[in-house]
Structure 1
């Protein structure tokens, strides 16, 4: 198959790269993201069939199950086993995916995003921000220079440093806002009801003085 290229802009391109369904047994929708087709739209596409790579440029939007990726340029590669890998460049690039078995989403941005469908990890580099939402409510937020999130283990690491320095964070240190997780089955503590106002009674001495 010859390479596909185009210089026309404002014309969406779509590509569907189907991964091999080699996982045995039923899988939750979120875990099955790696096995679902990848759909992409962009202003231009260059596809190399021999190397199984596709480079999308211009207002790129990619969906793969619950995964949403946006960027200025996205390179997608597929190996012989059907695993897919992506490199996203943007100002910044954007990545969103639903967490398994819960109504929660992770959402991140970075100047570069590396998606590894085989290891099920995402790496955000350059002014990286990682957020976790419960439904539509922001629950956690972390910023750093490099953030690596493992969707299989729900473990993420954050690195700071010189590259993370900004006018708002001149030291380049990692910053995080983490909401406590309530104990399973626990009842949220409620403050005691306010005490009723005291009832004022006239002093006997004042009553006697009035007579």
Structure 2
């Protein structure tokens, strides 16, 4: 990301006001499976280009896009660039470690770096955290970088990006956070009945 881009907001452990993000650790070592309408392999560049209703799965990771360029370096690390169509953004989803929570996001382009363990959403970028199926937190901006290894998010409003009219964008970053659900309060202990004097000894009348 270029250093001169303005309005950069770094959110450490934002995730989102509820502790670290920590995605599934095992995903990085899982095989990558891809389905698409067509495949073109460039042997010179060592790049596979999938097009048409592309669906990638890698452990709990799911990526959906119109086009996906994938390559693997000599050390076995995988890299992918997912591109959305004119009417649909590229989509990313991953489960959080040991929780019933998911991180999902969208962008015109989604870049997956298996070596750095980062995901970058570019263009109309959105990132959400869901507790089960319920939306908990949401971030929007021009560029969002999710760094799994350090639990760090970088959100950029991309203020120097020109819109359709040629005017500069507002560069605003928008964040919606919800409080972490409180643990259920324990039921109050039963109040003991007060002792009462007895007119009898041993419970039997004399």
TM-score of the superposed pair, with normalisation by structure 2: 0.69
**Which residue is 1:45 aligned to?**
39
Please, what is the CA RMSD of the aligned residues?
Answer: 2.5
Whether contact under 8 Å (2:65, 2:89) holds in the other structure is yes
State how 1:117-128 maps to structure 2 within 5 Å.
117-128=114-125
**Which residue is 2:175 aligned to?**
176
Name the SS of the counterpart of 1:33 in structure 2.
helix
**Which residue is 2:6 aligned to?**
none
**Which stretch shifts more, 32-41 or 42-51?**
42-51
Q: Which has the higher contact order (CA 8 A, sep 6+)?
A: 2
**Which residue is 1:149 aligned to?**
146
What's the CA shift for 1:163?
A: 3.4
State how 1:63-102 maps to structure 2 within 5 Å.
63-90=57-84, 91-102=88-99
| Shift >4 Å, 4+ stretches | none
Q: Name which of 55, 59, 63 aligns with 2:53.
A: 59
Q: For the residues of structure 2 that align with 1:52 and 1:66, how far apart are their CA atoms?
A: 26
Name the SS of the counterpart of 1:163 in structure 2.
coil
Q: For the residues of structure 2 that align with 1:138 and 1:94, how far apart are their CA atoms?
A: 16
Give unmatched runs, 5+ long, in structure 2: 1-21, 186-206
Q: Name which of 161, 165, 168 aligns with 1:163.
A: 161
Q: For the residues of structure 1 that align with 2:120 and 2:92, how far apart are their CA atoms?
A: 10
Name the SS of the counterpart of 2:28 in structure 1.
helix
**Which residue is 1:140 aligned to?**
137
Higher helix share: 1
Q: Deviations over 1:119-172 (max 9, x none)?
A: 111000000000001111111000000000112232211110253979xxx734
What's the CA shift for 1:99?
A: 1.3
**Which residue is 1:114 aligned to?**
111
User: CA, structure 1 residues 29+163, in 2 after alignment: closer, same or farther (shift >3 Å)?
Assistant: closer
Question: How many positions carry a matched residue from both structures?
Answer: 157
User: CA, structure 1 residues 164+151, in 2 after alignment: closer, same or farther (shift >3 Å)?
Assistant: farther
